[in-house]
Structure 1
Amino acid sequence: MGDAVTRQELLQKSASLLGRFSYEVRVSNALALFDINTVAEDLLVPIFATILDCPNLQNQNRIQMNFPAVDLGCNVRRISIQVTSDASSSKINETLEKFQSHGLDADFDRVLVYVLTERQQSYNSKALAATVVGFPIKFSPSRDILDFHGLAQLIGELSNEKIQRVCDLLEGEFKKADANSRFRSELDAFLSVSGQKIEDEKRTKKYIPSVFVETSGTKEQMRFFAHPMFFHRKIDDALRRFSLERFNELLRLAQIDEVQGDLPSLADLPVPKDLPDLRDRLTAQLEETTRLKDQVSVFSWYGERDERYVPKDYLTGYWTVFRHNVESNGSGVHRSLDKMTDQINLALAKIFLVTGMAGQGKTNFVCDLVENQFKKFEIPTIFIPARKLNDFHGPNRIRDYITNNRFAPEAKDIHDLLAVFDGVAKECGKPFILAIDGINEIGDLDGFVSELRVFLDALCQYDFVKVIITCRNEFFDHKFAGVFEPQFSDHLHRVQDLRSEMSDDNKSRLLRSYLGHFQIGVSLSNSAKEFLKNDLILLRIFCDIHEGKSIGNVPEIYKGDLFEAYLKMKIDDFPTPLRRIALASIYKICAGMLESGEFSQVQLGGFSDLEMEIVEKLIGEDIILRRELPTIGLRSIGVENISFTYDEMRDFLIAHFLVFELNANAPEKIDEIFRAVTAWPIYEGFFRYTYVLARKSNNDGIVRACEAFDDFDQHYINNLELLSDEVQTEADVSRVRSLLQSLSVVDDIHHLAWTLFRKRDEAAPLSVRVLIDHLADLDDAALEKFVKAMFSSEHGYIDDRWKDRVSHLLKSLLGLDDDHQSGLGTPALGVALYFVPFARWDEREATKNLFSRKADEPVFRDAVGMCNQARSGFVRACIAEISGEQALA
């Protein structure tokens, strides 16, 4: 009797659970949440395995994506099952037709259709009846089309033990769903508090969505990092396309053993069902691609030179014949493998680090990611503006910031939090991401360095919690580089310059968006466009200065002039009593920073009421100053902490204070500052503006002090474009000519040469004419070396691909209309002729033809004339050919 009661209870329980399962599927489908059908497939595997005694039953879609006709299959019992929420006759008919057309009767002797919602009462379709008659295996709609009622009948035939197992499976799924539902409710509220921080960034105009233009390269990298479960399929696609056939054919011709590897098979591994499964799959793919890359490396131009392939003596002849083809093809194979391993490493990475100069769009990039990309894919994310961590005390600032949220889980330490987040990630199949923006804005940098190291160490112990961190370059190099390398190098992906990841078209679109958003009418020269396109902080300040104005033609823009104009604009808005002391109040902040050696923030103790009023007005704008709360507890009550909003403006203002205030009233302090400055994180920016302002104000003493620094030449090269025409002298021309002759570092040659190339005003001492005079003095070997450096990439020059970049530049010249070609000016066209000998054949001949056709136009004729004195035989031959073609014409 007891057994009978127990059985009855089990049957009632199983029927109730199946009914709930069917109801929730109907509700989810009504809400267009069709992924419930995929979840149902996985749940039904163990249930049907129990009911049908099919221990080998598996989800066919996990073996092969979009498996035809059926979803579940057992190759031992030869039973297959289609799982659908569509109960129509046409759906059943379609399933049977696909089953037959794909020849699945060779694998299965029975096919069932399980309707997740509820089957029709009858299936009298003539089309279905005809399909059943011709079906290669027996199929009965009344027997083989099931819903939860039919499943309950089958369960009624099972032993109590198996019924209990079915109940346990369903109950376990519902318990998890109920717990997830409760947790999801709190999680969504918890994450929405973080989302409010994005709105704060909008209000302060640190994030302006209407002027955001994505960096497509970095966005692609972020896809693999932040949503590997979805985007790992791109890796699979690359693996499937990979082939060693041509490379191995060349190896055989060179009498070298083939390279063994079958990457396409790695794409056909079982489809991952969760993040742990994906991690194992990616790890296996990484091991094999890395092993293969090591084999190919010896035949690649990218491999270590001392590891290059060396043939045995009797094979030297073969290698001589086939070496170039083998290494060329091997380099292509190596690049493909590099790309794949980079993508896999990104998917496995834990830390995504973005560094760059101030104002280069790091905050816009992160905010757009969180608000749009991560929200779209429902990736759980906490956004942390790092300056807000100043509201909390070390060593648990990150934990305390996160838990300062009424929906936060209880956590005694960071591990408690990370464990919760790791669990969320596993449940939703997406990493849990912490995005910490601007760690250079932490007041207690020394304290935060050790805190960040501990935090990252903890985070890396949890497989599916990841962090995005942004930092200004010089702060990273000065304070944080040692945190990330080498301890976390295996977990790290770094984007060193976010702006370099943007295409030129995207930068142009960004410039247009800014000018449109701020309603500015302006005609910018090409150099002014490039200037603003490549420095968002200046673009923003430029737009603030000129908002709503039509300012006509702008040939050149200088940073210091912008900062000065912006500050003057703000001060001019002050009432007269404040206007008189405004600059002195800013100088007082600068003095405090210099005295303390602390440049991220300064205390306002000792400021008068009028000075505080000025500070409050500037903080209200949040462009020059921003408020920072004290970090030293109760002792600091009543004392405000502030910092400069934009670091580069801070550097300018501190330099302005030294050149115009200290130089007049306390010159003895200047030597003291110059002795200390090389150890400061502001060194580069401070030096830049100190030198430029000293030049503009004819302060020879400070100029000489700057020139006495060991690394002055490097500063001079990096900041040459900041020297406006009116301060340039013949001494600058001599210095630049000397540098052009003596430089050996490719990056320096590249920077200096292109800086001169962009200076088209021949009336200025420093212009493109200085460059063309230098080119004229170079013989063939020296000219090739110089042009090679000008067209080098960040990877240096590999093989002769620098010539492709020469060709690309000439191709852009050829693509201009007549007016734009002439508008480049004689010296720029003359420089182009020095590039012609090193271009590919098509562009070389087309450029010579262009000059020959336009030889009667003054600008082209004079450009050819400028090159008549060239020392290079390459260039003289080019000029002779152009002149000869003209004579023949």
Structure 2
Amino acid sequence: MINSKIFEIASDLQTLWGILIFAFIITSFIILLVAFRKRVNYDSSKQIDIFERNKKYIPSLYIELNDTKENLRYFACGNRWKKRIIRDFNLMFSNYNGIQLKKKLGYLHAFKISSLISYKTLLAVLESYHSFFSDMRNERTELREKFGDYYFVLERLGYDYSKKIAELISFCKMSLSKKMLIVGSAGNGKTNILCNYVKFAMNQGCPCIFINAKDINIDCLEFLNTKLKLPAIIAKYRHLYINIINFLLFCRRKFLFIIIDALNENDAPVFINSISELTDFFNKYSRIKLLYSCRSEFFDFRYKSFFDKCLNPPTVFNVRESDYDDRAKKHLLLAYGKYFNFSGSISKNVESKLFRSLLLMRIFFEVNSGLSQNVIELHDAEIYKKYIDNITSNNRSFDLLSIINHIAEIMVKHLDFNGVEISKLNLSTQDKKSFKDMLDDNILMSYTLHKNKGLITEETVEIVYFVFDELRDFCITRYILSNCKDENDSDYNYFFSVADELYKNKMSPLEGILKYAYIYFKQLKKYYICKKILDSYSNTPIYKWKYNRDWLYRDNEIFYNFGMSIIFSDVENLKDYEKVYIYELTKNNVHDFWNMFFYLLRNDIDGILPSTELVLEVLSFHENYRALEKLIKPFFDDRNEKDEEERHIYILCQRLEKIEEIHGFIPTHLKQFLLLIYAINPEEYLLDNYIGIFINEHDTYEQLINMMKNHEIKIALEEVKNSFSK
């Protein structure tokens, strides 16, 4: 009896001991996860603070311009947001139009997804529905016969549903994805997006490792080990440690996010060659997600091949291929104006330029802080110069311009534009301190610490770098041109030797250097050098990068040809050689021609030069009537089944009304353009509103007829003139 009780007590103690051990292990794991989350999130918060000090991230100015943040929310939340996708899909077909559609198609019980479906099956179902509605637009004849007039409703609904389902498919892929790469042009707010995302993820209780790519000067995995801050005793068991973290995250239904900003800002071979290895390393961990950002101009050319080698490449999300809401754009403009106390008015042309570069918008308001002047035209080189001058005037204790030129000199000499060791600037102790203090309080430059590996003793060096590429390119251009001037290099051979070297190596500053130099040479009336730039670099790969990036979103880009871009970067007093270049380019390029036309038409609204008179000059060069007709025909073309309000001729008429409302009259060159397109297509009914011009403007006829070189168009204009005279 006693032995039995002793045995029971021993058994109970053993069970209790097992429970205590199990509880201790669970508690230890929880403490480990909490400690890990606090440790890495503390470092990530410090990185955000650095971006805030550099003013690359201003929380009060963060605005969701498009659906980028929404895609990132799905990326962050994973399975938890599956019900949102299913709910949004089911709601599409629960209203009047959806019910009528199901009745007409005979699918009363279709177009509904169960909440119990798996994510992968959900993606397959969404893709099948997307194909169904997309194919509907290709079966016009059969559907027209089957549904009669309801077909037109069906076609419109099919387009709307197809577009919405495509968005849900994107969200679904983001939720399933473990790796994501955000691409976009410089100054488009990628760092802002990531900083805001890190805060969002940390508020969700997720650990985040936030890294600036510039800081990685060793193998990516080795660098990440330093960020994990593993104790020496645990470091050699990294795999086991990460497995434990992954398991604990699984239990809590959380993710660890490893976020690396601005891949393009690190050209070091050790970084580029190891980024794909880092991506593959975490592929086996279900609760670890990777998020990168990179400039789109260089992703395809420099980094895409490395990610293609990955077992599972990251999902690429293009910020520029996500529609910007006009209301959000306006809200951002107003937010900047309020933050920098700018009360002046901005022309539509300037507004358009600012929206193409969020960096330029930021600096524009900063240099015009507290002013109330009206801005009709914009010159970004002048803005950058003014910005640097403002920083210089606020830091008179050292020669900032000399330091900037020295940095540019070292970058050009070594063809390394990531940064320069501060020690190589040969600054005095006091100048170095003042310089570093300045770096903490501007968005011109910043600095970081790098460790030189492979030495007997590790050496830590301080690296200074330009925060934004456009400013860097401006400073480098100014250094190169100043060098040519100091060396009496009247043919600017040094400039072209640097440009050729950058072209050969396809390096990032080439675009900016050519653009700023072109404006400089034009101001000096060295037109032969401007022409040499156009002849040598107008088909540079920069043009191809832009075209690959933006051809689906033409509303966000004016010109795809690099030569056109630099010509219109300084729009005052276009020269004959530029007009000839535009003619040669646009005579077979309808897209660039009409982009140029509406760009100049916006100038007519604002009352600035150049105006659409340039279009008439370019058209007057045409001696072949068929080529001229081919160029004008898309102005009336309705072959893409556009809505009436989307036709070019309709848009022109609307803007002519606005011009007449603002200025009280229609300029002569626009009257001449109306006469020209009427002579080519007199059957366009929208031109009937301008019969008064066709009847009374005899001098306008004569000027236009004398301007045109093509004999057939002269005859057509004479016929129009004579018909209205009668």
Q: Normalising to structure 1: TM-score of the pair?
A: 0.63
Is residue 2:380 matched to residue 1:533?
A: no
Residue by residue over 1:676-721, the C-alpha shift from the partner in whole angstroms, topping out at 9 and shown as x without a partner, is 2212122222222222222223334542431232535922222343
Instruction: Say which SS state the counterpart of residue 742 (structure 1) adopts.
Output: coil
Residue matched to 1:367: 195
Where does residue 708 of structure 2 map in the other structure?
Answer: none
Distance across 1 between alignment mates of 2:656 and 2:579 = 33
Aligned twin of 2:59:
209
2:568 is matched with which residue?
721
Aligned-partner Cα distance in 1 for 2:128–2:605: 55
Which structure would you say has the larger RCO, counting Cα contacts within 8 Å and 6 or more residues apart?
A: 2
How big is each residue's C-alpha offset from its partner over 1:618-675, in whole Å with a ceiling of 9 and x where there is no partner?
5344422222334424589586432112111111121222223235416443343232
Where does structure 2 lack aligned partners over 5 or more consecutive residues? 544-560, 679-683, 706-711
1:623 is the counterpart of 2:451: no
Q: Which amino acid aligns with 2:578?
A: D
The residue correspondences of 1:783-862 to structure 2 (distance < 5 A) are 783-786=632-635, 799-801=640-642, 805-806=646-647, 810=651, 822=663, 826=667
Distance in 2 of aligned mates of 1:460 and 1:526: 48
Equivalent residue in structure 1 for 2:225, among 393, 400, 425: 400
CA-CA distance at 1:728 after TM superposition? 3.0
Partner of 2:499: 674
1:142-185 Cα shifts (integer Å, max 9, x gaps)? xxxxxxxxxxxxxxxxxxxxxx9xx9999999778645642453
The structure-2 alpha-carbon separation of the partners of 1:317 and 1:464, relative to structure 1 and needing over 3 Å to count, comes to same
> Which residue in the other structure is 1:516 paired with?
338
How far apart are the structure 2 equivalents of 1:431 and 1:828? 62
Match of 1:449 in 2: 272
**Matches of 2:653 and 2:330 in 1, distance apart?**
16
Mapped pair 1:557 → 2:381: no
Q: 1:340 to 1:299 in 2, by over 3 A?
A: same
- Contact 1:389/1:397, CA 8 A, preserved across alignment: no
In 2, are the aligned partners of 1:355 and 1:495 still within 8 Å (CA)?
yes
Query: Any idea what SS the aligned residue of 2:114 has?
Result: helix
Change over 3 Å in CA distance of 1:554–1:471 after alignment to 2: same
The answer to whether the 8 Å contact 2:668/2:700 transfers is no
Deviation at 1:723?
Answer: 0.6
Is the 1:433–1:467 Cα contact (8 Å) retained in structure 2? yes
Q: Deviations over 1:51-71 (max 9, x none)?
A: xxxxxxxxxxxxxxxxxxxxx
1:692 paired residue number:
519
CA distance in 1, matches of 2:4, 2:667: 103
Is residue 53–residue 442 contact of structure 2 (8 Å, CA) maintained in 1? Answer: no
Structure 1 residues 784 and 812 mapped into 2: Cα distance closer, same or farther (>3 Å)? closer
Q: Structure 1 pair 732/780, CA: closer, same or farther in 2 (3 Å)?
A: closer
Higher mean displacement: 773-782 or 560-569: 773-782
Residue in 2 aligned with 1:433? 257
Match of 1:632 in 2: 452
The CA deviation at 1:573 is 3.9
Higher Rg of the two aligned structures: 1
CA RMSD of aligned residues (A): 5.2
Task: Give the equivalent residue in structure 1 for 2:31.
Answer: 182
Native 8 Å contact 1:625 1:642 kept in 2: yes
Residue 354 (str. 1) matches residue 166 (str. 2) = no
Which deviations, in whole Å up to 9, do the C-alpha atoms of 1:308-347 show, x marking residues without a partner? 9999xxx999899999898776655544543332222111
How has the CA–CA distance of structure 1 residues 511 and 297 changed in structure 2, closer, same or farther, with 3 Å as cutoff? closer
Q: Which amino acid aligns with 1:735?
A: Y
Question: What SS does the aligned partner of 1:552 have?
Answer: coil
What residue identity is the alignment partner of 1:785?
P
Tell me the CA shift for residue 366 of structure 1.
1.2
Deviations 1:235-277 (A, max 9, x none): 112443466997798889xxxxx9x99552x42327xxxxxxx
Q: 1:484 aligns with which of 288, 302, 307?
A: 307
The within-5 A match list for 1:710-749 is: 711-712=538-539, 714-725=561-572, 728-744=574-590, 746=591, 748-749=592-593
8 Å CA contact 2:660, 2:666 repeated in 1: no
Q: Do residues 196 (structure 1) and 46 (structure 2) align? A: yes
Aligned to 1:771: 615
Alpha carbons of structure 1 residues 763 and 291: separation in structure 2 relative to 1, 3 Å:
closer
Pick the aligned partner of 1:658 from 466, 480, 489.
Answer: 480
Q: Please tell me whether the aligned partners of residues 43 and 210 of structure 2 are also in contact (alpha carbons under 8 angstroms).
A: no
Q: Check 1:339–1:9 CA distance in 2 against 1; reply closer, same or farther (3 A cut).
A: farther
SS of 1:626's partner is strand
Count of aligned pairs: 665
User: What letter corresponds to residue 600 of structure 1 in structure 2?
Assistant: N
Q: Indicate conservation of the 8 Å contact 2:144/2:151, yes or no.
A: no
Which whole-Å CA distance do the structure 2 matches of 1:642 and 1:824 have between them?
55
CA contact (8 A) 2:579 2:618 kept: no
Q: Helix, strand or coil for the counterpart of 2:563?
A: helix
- C-alpha contact 2:126 2:169 (8 A) present in aligned 1: yes
How big is each residue's C-alpha offset from its partner over 1:713-759, in whole Å with a ceiling of 9 and x where there is no partner? 9222223432141x532433343344332325x4x446434432333
Instruction: Write out per-residue CA displacement over residues 569-598 of structure 1, whole angstroms, 9 at most, x where no aligned residue.
Output: 23334448x44xx43432222221122111
- The one-letter code matched in structure 2 to 1:583 is L
Instruction: Give CA deviations for 1:83-107 in whole Å, capped at 9, x if unaligned.
Output: xxxxxxxxxxxxxxxxxxxxxxxxx
Aligned-residue offset at 1:215: 2.8
Quote the Cα distance in structure 2 between the aligned partners of 1:6 and 1:297. 77
CA contact (8 A) 1:833 1:867 kept: no
Q: Is the 8 A contact 2:484 2:494 kept in 1?
A: yes
Amino acid at match of 1:290: E
Structure 1 counterpart SS, 2:378: coil
- Conservation of the 8 A alpha-carbon contact between 1:300 and 1:330: yes
Give, in angstroms, the shift of residue 824 of structure 1.
10
Judged with a 3 Å threshold, the aligned counterparts in structure 2 of structure 1 residues 806 and 398 are, in CA distance, closer, same or farther, namely farther
Amino acid of the residue matched to residue 392 of structure 2? I
Q: 1:384 to 1:803 in 2, by over 3 A?
A: farther
SS of residue paired to 2:374: strand
What is the CA–CA distance in structure 2 between the aligned matches of 1:216 and 1:671, rounded to whole Å? 40
Name the SS for the 1:719 alignment partner: helix
Q: How far apart in 1 are the matches of 2:468 and 2:327? A: 26
Q: Note the residue ranges of structure 1 that are not aligned, 5 or more in a row.
A: 14-163, 253-257, 271-280, 302-307, 789-796, 838-843, 884-889
Task: Determine the C-alpha separation between the residues in 1 that align with 2:663 and 2:187.
Answer: 35
The structural deviation recorded for 1:457 is 0.8
Give the conservation status (yes or no) of the 8 Å contact 2:571–2:609: no
What is the rounded CA distance, in whole Å, between the counterparts of 1:209 and 1:704 in structure 2?
Answer: 44
SS at match of 1:629: strand
The normalised TM-score by structure 2 is 0.75
